[in-house]
Copies of this chain bind each other. A is one copy, B any other.
């Protein structure tokens, strides 16, 4: 297990846990590491999620399939990130999503029940784990909420402006965004060319100025 310590250190769930305690903790949580080939199913939709997965290396996709069998990727997890935690915490019986490796990967699984319930050794880190978990999920919550703010807008213009303003709120009138055009369009769930067109209009109207991923809100 020790060889994974360097990556485990970066896992948010373990924030504040002493490196020295890591070994005992993993033991207590019944940590198991599996080596998975590409396209291996780690969690099957419909089954009950009772483990939290941590990506040690490689990459996994969280996918959802609708009734017609169309596969939709709703998220990915890279090394240091994890999956299944919200499902476990919510206590769902049938997972609405599947989790699949999209590269050869190493995955660590923790028994969720062991995170919540202190073991007989009364390990001191359980409280920290739970607090971290609470914080992680709550933050995810806020991100989703925030994202809904502009997804709920009807027009392209509103979506873009709402997004840009929400970014600007945290910084200056001049700022850069972590997306190129296509990614931004995907993020806002709109067509790329419609986005470009609307940005051009906004610039022409003097509402904002931009160059590549650098934006300035005017007025």
Contacts and interface: CB of A to CB of B under 8 A. Distances in A.
A1 interface: no
Nearest to A133: B134
Q: Helix, strand, loop or mixed for chain A's interface?
A: helix
Nearest to A62: B145
A20 interface: no
Interface of A: 64, 66-67, 74, 85-92, 96, 116, 130-131, 133-135, 137-142, 144-149, 151-154, 162, 165, 168-169, 189-191
10 contacts: A66-B165, A67-B165, A67-B169, A90-B139, A96-B146, A130-B134, A134-B137, A137-B137, A140-B141, A144-B144
A153 B131 CA distance: 35
B135 A66 contact: no
Contacts of A154: 189-191
A138 B90 contact: yes
Contacts of A168: 67
Q: How many copies does the complex hold?
A: 2
B135 A90 contact: yes
A169 B66 CA distance: 9
Contacts of A64: 149
A88 B191 CA distance: 36
B135 A91 contact: yes
Given A66-B162, A169-B67, A87 B142 contact: yes
Contact of A151 (B131, B137, B152): B152
Contacts of A90: 135, 138-139, 141-142
